[in-house]
Chains A and B, each alone.
Chain A
Amino acid sequence: MSEITYEPASDPAGVGVTEHLPETVTQKSLNRDVLRMLERPGKIWWGVFLLDLAILSLGLIAERNQIVYGIGAAGHTRPVMWASYVTNFVFWVGIAHCGTLVSAILFLFRSHFRRAVYRVAEAMTVFGVLTAGLFPIVHLGRPWFAYWLFPYPNQRGIWPNFRSPLEWDVFAVTTYLTVSSIFFIVGIIPDAAVQRDNAKNRFHRLLGTIFSFGWRGANTQWKHFYSAYLYFAAFATPLVLSVHSVVSWDFAMAQIPGWHSTIFAPYFVAGAIFSGVALVINLLIIIRKGFKLEHIVTADHIEKLAKLVLLTSTIVGYSYMVEFFCAWYGPSRFERDMFWWRFTGHFWWAAWIMFTCNVIIPLLLWFKKVRRNMTVLFIIMLFVNVGMWFERFVIIVSSLAHPFNPSTWGVNYRMDWTEAAILAGSFAWFGMYFLLFIRLLPAISVAEVKETLAPPMRGGHA
């Protein structure tokens, strides 16, 4: 059984696993190149990090005001009771999905191009969930009672309402955070051992000591490690599908026109992967350029991710069309009015930003030259993420702003500076974790990339 848990590089069939890396890369140089990320470039890193902390503190000030004066500091109205915070929540959960896709689903599918990129994607998952997890608390009217949503025995004898989709969220998101963190930390174990044994700086060695848990790379360890890794992947795969389905049911289970739709679960999962992969591409382009790792994270890797973006873009575009089609030909006038209003009413611009960025601009990815041009790709992926933020905004805000009863129409949501600061702060919060991560632990999986190299054989290559 353990044979199927990994695909050794020396497999006679070859599976073309070495084709992405140049011959000059050896096991030794890999160790050196990846550990070098912990050291340089120093000054640029500090500049970016301090800027990041400044933005984060702006968000914290806004959050402090909101707690002191009330959630009215944000732009919510009746009927738009959810707005940018829930948008941010869904956006960041969506971002998080890509990591699990790359590390778990592609692991199960034996897509070896994942090996060079999965650590970055997985870090993005964990930090994305850490960011997303803030927003259900930030958006509460009384955030200091957020713990009431957790099922804990208490003398009042009251439990949460397990029929509420928000309670499902509590279970789905905490499970997702736990499982993805475990998956992330377990995956780091062999690489932390590399850092422990090879890093120059004693602080880096200390982190390696801690995160390697005393890993030695013994055969018994590898055996159980990969067996467990397989089951982590096997759990994470249905989990990642369920989490965004559950998030989508926050909306689909409500009966608001524009929300009450059965297509939401697959549509949201595709959208999540779409936005997540786009952000991974952005991060990887920065990392491979900034740390001079073009020979490890190659254009081939990036191109394969770009193809994934193209695929999910078409799924998302199809979902838009199907929603509109169903509304147009369906029996509910509320639904029909809603979709017409969405593209022509007060928030028409948001709907068209969504459609342009998510469906039209990604069509450029049909061209191989575009997929391999890092500058163009970077810009397209930025558009995709803007578009995906607006997709959630459109779904949440424009549906709420046009409910069943016309008497509540016309009071339109307007974003307040508090929300803008918290949105910026959430990027800074994510950025803070990510910046710290790339300076503290190996951001590229040394052990797994080594598997793609030809193993040293006295008898020569098979």
Chain B
Amino acid sequence: MPHYDFARARCVVSFGADFLETWIAPVAYARGFAAMRARRDGSGQFIVVEPRLSLTGANADEWIAIRPGAEAALALGMARVILTEGLGSGERGALMEAVSAWTPEAVQQATDVPADAVRRLARRFAAAKPGLAVAGGIAAQSEQSVAVISAVNLLNAAAGNIGETVRFDRTYDVEGVGSFGDVQRLIADMAAGKVQALVVRDANPAYAVPAWAGFAAAMDKVPFKISLSSVLDETADRCDLILPATHPLESLGDSRGVRGVYGIVQPAMKPLPMFQTRATGDTLIAIAKAAGFGAKLPATWIEYLKAQWKPLHQRFGAGRDFDTFWNETLQKGGVWEDVAATPVRWTGTPAFVTPELKGAGDLALILYPTSQLHDGRGANKPWLQELPDPTTKAVWGSWAEIHPDTAKRLGVAEGDAVRIETEAGAIEVPAYLYGGIRPDAVAVPLGQGHTAYGRSAKGRGVNAATLLPPAQDGASGAVAYLCAKAKVTKAARAIDLAMTQREKNQFDREIAQSVPLASLLAGAAVAAGAGAAATAAAGEAHAGPEPLPSQTRPGHYTSPLAMPPDYKKPAHAVSAYEPELRARGPRNVPVDQGSYAHAQHRWAMAIDLDRCTGCSACVVACSAENNVPSVGPEMVKRGREMLWIRVERFEQAVGGGKSDVRFVPMMCQQCGDAPCETVCPVYATYHNPEGLNAQVYNRCVGTRYCSNNCPYKVRAFNFFDYAAPEKPTFAFPEPLNWQLNPDVTVRSKGVMEKCTFCIQRILEGKGNAKDEARAVRDGEIQSACAQSCPTQAIVFGDLLDPESRVAKLSHGERRYWVLNELNTKPGVTYLKRVERETTTA
């Protein structure tokens, strides 16, 4: 498998590959993708080709809603245009043969993509030099998987991207990975009674293997089954013996992800004594010794592991003894070396035919993994169950995405239950009306419907994989998830879907703003020409550049309010755009006791909406850092989720080639003139000298007035006792209590809580700096959300430090403040999303 370099690409076309969610290495790809988007040279366009607009697709500039399964045809058609018009720099002759049948008209026939669009797309892609086409997701999970991937590879080859963005140096190390064929052989052997003992570790085949393959039934025929799982999942549930393994955070191990990189997995904590667990390696060694064939094995897993690293010590040790080498490697995380690119050559492509979807229904059934639950392994974690799905904002359940036109035809409204039927089975799920899906398709997420796997997973939603009829890719034998047509009808019973955001439209309220790329580029050119004048005006730097045309439309107040020259600023107005103004006491006398006069910092945040992909990693990071309780679906339905940060999604324009979905990470804006503070009768929330809206949980009496008066609605209220073990609403029953952060209070019943920019980390950072008798360095203190953001969309820092990243970003030309006309002077500055041109529009 090649290494895809998104950062170098000047145009990306994704054929169903959800590289920002689950595809191969989403964090690395998201980082590369953000780097590509950040370039300001007119490049960096992203086109997505898929029947259902995924979260990755929501970040695209253009959405080509292709007929399900026909992706290869478009790839081949594009390659044909590139080859016939001589646009690419790659080899021609051999490839031309493979694509000759796919004229743009033939492609239109097969894919519903107009012939003109095929040509324009191909020309745009070829002109990028280098571009990058990737295939994955549902496109690569049909009965034609290998053909689709080959076709996209061919497109890359035709455009000359091999060796540029599709590289074969640090390829993925997939040697040890088994195939579905291996699983099928195991099932056959088990069914035939040939397997006497089965050891399962870190896998849940009884759930994850599609029902038609019959794993569970075959497994029951094995006389002795051992699970080395650390959780009681469906597979462990069927085993005779469970030898619980340590949690991944407690385990030592090693890994080889890509060629030339050897990693050590270091445990993050000591194994907890009250759970009687043992490292899998130790268990296996003990079994082997007890069974009498392990005499040659070392006594413990760690010794075994060290023995395995002896050859690497020879290569990388550089004369140090083994223990020194081992300890250094542990600290670094591994060793790595440069590797030469493997030479690759074109060997022909399998014949491609549009896959035929089985079944009597009229809607193509699309089953897709979500980034939170993936294949179901995330379902036992309340953090992930309560993480709003980035697309639908639904939690704790399953749903079916249906196009509004189709729903109208079926007489289904949002939230109504629908029955989805294939020849293999039927499920009932609530409907979610989504403009980002073709009218002739229905999409259901995978990962729910567990029958075991703990209290958070069991009985939530449905397992959509039960709808799959037997189908496999002819070439690789992989399971085909795109293979069936489904019959969808309105179900009799109602199932309420818990969602954290029901409104998809921002009604022109400018919560999520954007700016055309062309106007940014023009602005940059003018600024460069102005040169000396700009330097002269630097004294008024905080005033920022001239407002952009999109900021000065009538009725839209996105620039700081214009104040008369003699306007006297309120004494305590420390705001995002007046960082030089220090807080002072009444009548401009420093308030010594309150220390407002001596404030050294104004903590602030800059959030780049052009980098934010909506992945919601920040939400989980925040919950983990700040002991945010999960409240369950019934509470979410009543709007009582406790999340301190949410990623708002607004579908600005979806469909007709457009994909303008905007994501806004929304947390407490730490307003300079905070509406919440004034209304609290007991000073439970007040402005601290460093610009934060402090929240004093102990003082809060729970009037909830602050939440009412918060224009952003970012405060969370403890409606029940989530912190008291004796209450039914306790949110951290064993073993979840071990996840609590000891630096942060667990809030009790009846108090308001909210984001304070991870104030515990700020205190720690300031303390460290003080111990070392130095100033706090920019970037040293990071909020949990900023730290976890794969695209670095969130930047945290000190506005009073003019050299800090956050200060520079906050003065950038794309800045704006949400609901700025309310004059709340937020400490969070947003940078507008960049609108790029589309090719087909």
B704 at the interface (CB under 8 A from A): yes
Other-chain residue from B508, B682, B711, B752 in contact with A404 (beta carbon distance below 8 A): B711
Interface string of A138-173 (1 = CB under 8 A from B): 011111011011000000001011011111001000
Other-chain residue from A165, A166, A403, A410 in contact with B713 (beta carbon distance below 8 A): A403
B52 at the interface (CB under 8 A from A): no
- Tell which of A69-77, A268-276, A293-301 binds the partner: A69-77
- Tell which of B7-15, B86-94, B318-326, B638-646 binds the partner: B638-646
- Tell which of B26-34, B265-273, B290-298, B716-724 binds the partner: B716-724
Of all chain B residues, which has the CB nearest A162? B681
Residues of A within 8 A of B718 (CB): 70, 141
Contact indicator A255/B502 (Cβ below 8 Å): no
B588 at the interface (CB under 8 A from A): no
Contact indicator B648/A407 (Cβ below 8 Å): yes
Other-chain residue from B508, B683, B716, B750 in contact with A71 (beta carbon distance below 8 A): B750
- Tell which of B16-24, B333-341, B694-702, B781-789 binds the partner: B694-702
Nearest CB in chain B: distance from A136 CB, A: 8
Known: A81-B707, A140-B750, A407-B646. A146 touches B505 (CB 8 A): no
Residues of B within 8 A of A337 (CB): 507
- Tell which of B55-63, B565-573, B672-680 binds the partner: B672-680
Nearest CB in chain A: distance from B189 CB, A: 53
Number of contacting residues on A, CB 8 A?
50
Interface string of A390-414 (1 = CB under 8 A from B): 0000000000100111111111001
A320 at the interface (CB under 8 A from B): no
Q: Give the CA-CA distance A333 to B556 in the complex, in Å.
A: 10
Of all chain B residues, which has the CB nearest A81? B704
- Beta-carbon contacts under 8 Å, A60-78 to B: 69-72, 75-78
B184 at the interface (CB under 8 A from A): no
Contact indicator B511/A405 (Cβ below 8 Å): yes
Q: Give the CA-CA distance A167 to B719 in the complex, in Å.
A: 23
Other-chain residue from A141, A163, A166 in contact with B752 (beta carbon distance below 8 A): A141
Nearest CB in chain B: distance from A450 CB, A: 46
Residues of B within 8 A of A405 (CB): 509, 511, 648, 666, 711-713, 818-819
Other-chain residue from A69, A139, A164, A411 in contact with B721 (beta carbon distance below 8 A): A69
Other-chain residue from B640, B646, B678, B750 in contact with A141 (beta carbon distance below 8 A): B750
A256 at the interface (CB under 8 A from B): yes
Known: A78-B639, A78-B640. A142 touches B705 (CB 8 A): no
Q: Give chain B's interface residue range (CB within 8 Å of chain A).
A: 35 or more
Residues of B within 8 A of A140 (CB): 701-703, 750
Q: Give the CA-CA distance A404 to B507 in the complex, in Å.
A: 10
Contact indicator A407/B705 (Cβ below 8 Å): no
Residues of A within 8 A of B650 (CB): 406-407
Interface string of A316-337 (1 = CB under 8 A from B): 0000000000000001011001
Residues of A within 8 A of B648 (CB): 405, 407
Residues of B within 8 A of A403 (CB): 711, 713
Other-chain residue from A141, A254, A400 in contact with B702 (beta carbon distance below 8 A): A141
Contact indicator A166/B679 (Cβ below 8 Å): yes
Known: A160-B683, A406-B506. A411 touches B749 (CB 8 A): no
B311 at the interface (CB under 8 A from A): no
A266 at the interface (CB under 8 A from B): no
Nearest CB in chain B: distance from A161 CB, A: 5
B409 at the interface (CB under 8 A from A): no
Residues of B within 8 A of A253 (CB): 678-679
- Beta-carbon contacts under 8 Å, B230-281 to A: none
Residues of A within 8 A of B502 (CB): 409-411
Contact indicator B704/A82 (Cβ below 8 Å): yes
Q: Give the CA-CA distance A167 to B717 in the complex, in Å.
A: 21
Q: Give the CA-CA distance A406 to B507 in the complex, in Å.
A: 8
Known: A70-B720, A254-B675, A254-B709. A142 touches B681 (CB 8 A): no
Q: Give the CA-CA distance A72 to B646 in the complex, in Å.
A: 21
Of all chain B residues, which has the CB nearest A156? B699
Contact indicator A256/B709 (Cβ below 8 Å): yes
Residues of A within 8 A of B507 (CB): 337, 406
Residues of A within 8 A of B506 (CB): 406-407
Contact indicator A141/B700 (Cβ below 8 Å): yes
- Beta-carbon contacts under 8 Å, B793-836 to A: 818-819, 822
Residues of A within 8 A of B750 (CB): 70-71, 140-142
Contact indicator A165/B707 (Cβ below 8 Å): no
Q: Give the CA-CA distance A407 to B511 in the complex, in Å.
A: 9
**Interface residues of B, Cβ cutoff 8 Å to A:** 501-503, 505-509, 511, 555, 635, 638-641, 646, 648, 650, 664, 666, 675, 678-683, 699-705, 707-709, 711-713, 715-721, 727, 729, 749-752, 818-819, 822
Closest 4 CB pairs of A and B: A141-B702, A141-B750, A72-B719, A410-B502
6 examples of A-B residue contacts, CB within 8 angstroms = A76-B704, A78-B707, A142-B700, A142-B702, A158-B683, A403-B713
